């Protein structure tokens, strides 16, 4: 029986070569993207065992047996080859009841008057960069979050509870925005888009199960999220 290993990386994490059969994927997409992909893949290829590692730390492909990785953001390692799976932007969202108690922001600087919930990227301060939908201008704000956490799935309940305004990728609990339980804030100012890719070392042989999964993921992932904001 063949083996396939999966792992999840956040922006800024890095990879080094691997000799196993593995994939990497970013934390907080395991329930909405990774698990549906893997279960559908195993339904088509029942003889493939899958191992999944979810992490935001630096990965050594050789030492940890990783062949494929889901990676968010641009690649800085030229030895890696990428296959784009999805393109999307994070959304700035809040509970509608929270917005009833405070003046909704109209520009990025207005956010500094609100409680802000952010993904923890190390350090005390967080920076958000926004691009205007029509004018194309860019603005960046730097702040100390009211709440920060290295798990978007954990931030979602805090946003639902009216904790403030925060960032949330549309691949994390997308039903919250679809059902109106969270609403997009300041829609004319948007986070830049990100690519979610499957990456592997370009100088090593990729086993057949990994090649099959890479193609399967590229074809299937867009069907799981047909209306991603960009």
Confidence of residue 58 (pLDDT cuts 50, 70, 90): low
CA-wise closest residue to 21 among 38, 1, 6: 6
The mean pLDDT of the chain is 83
Burial state string for 183-214 with b = 16 or more CB within 10 A and e = fewer than 16: bebbeebbbeebebbbbbbeeeebbebbebbb
Instruction: Based on DSSP, count helices (H) and strands (E) in the chain, helices before strands.
Output: 6, 16
- CB of 69 within 8 A of CB of 199? yes
- CB of 205 within 8 A of CB of 68? no
Check residue 120 and give its pLDDT: 87
pTM over 0.85: no
Confidence of residue 185 (pLDDT cuts 50, 70, 90): very high
CA-wise closest residue to 7 among 86, 67, 89: 67
Check residue 77 and give its pLDDT: 63
Section 194-214 average pLDDT:
84
């Amino acid at each position: 029986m063949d083996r396939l290993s999966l792992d999840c990386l956040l922006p800024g994490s890095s990879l080094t070569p691997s000799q196993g059969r593995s994939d990497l994927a970013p934390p907080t997409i395991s329930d909405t993207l990774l698990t549906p992909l893997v279960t559908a893949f195993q339904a088509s290829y029942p003889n493939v065992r899958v191992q999944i590692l979810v992490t935001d730390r630096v990965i050594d492909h050789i030492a940890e047996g990783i062949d494929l990785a889901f990676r968010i953001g641009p690649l800085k390692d030229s030895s890696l080859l990428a296959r784009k799976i999805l393109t999307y932007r994070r959304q700035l969202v809040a509970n509608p009841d929270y917005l009833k108690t405070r003046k909704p922001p109209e520009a990025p600087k207005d956010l500094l008057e609100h409680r802000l919930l952010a993904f923890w990227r190390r350090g005390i301060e967080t920076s958000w960069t926004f691009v205007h939908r029509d004018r194309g201008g860019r603005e960046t704000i730097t702040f100390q979050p009211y709440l920060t956490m290295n798990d978007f799935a954990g931030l979602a309940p805090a946003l639902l509870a009216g904790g403030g305004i925060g960032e949330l990728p549309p691949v994390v609990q997308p039903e919250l925005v679809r059902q109106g339980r969270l609403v997009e804030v300041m829609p004319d100012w948007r986070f830049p888009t990100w690519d979610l890719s499957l990456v592997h070392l370009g100088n090593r042989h990729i086993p057949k199960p990994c090649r099959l999964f890479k193609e399967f993921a590229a074809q299937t992932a867009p069907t799981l999220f047909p209306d991603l904001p960009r």
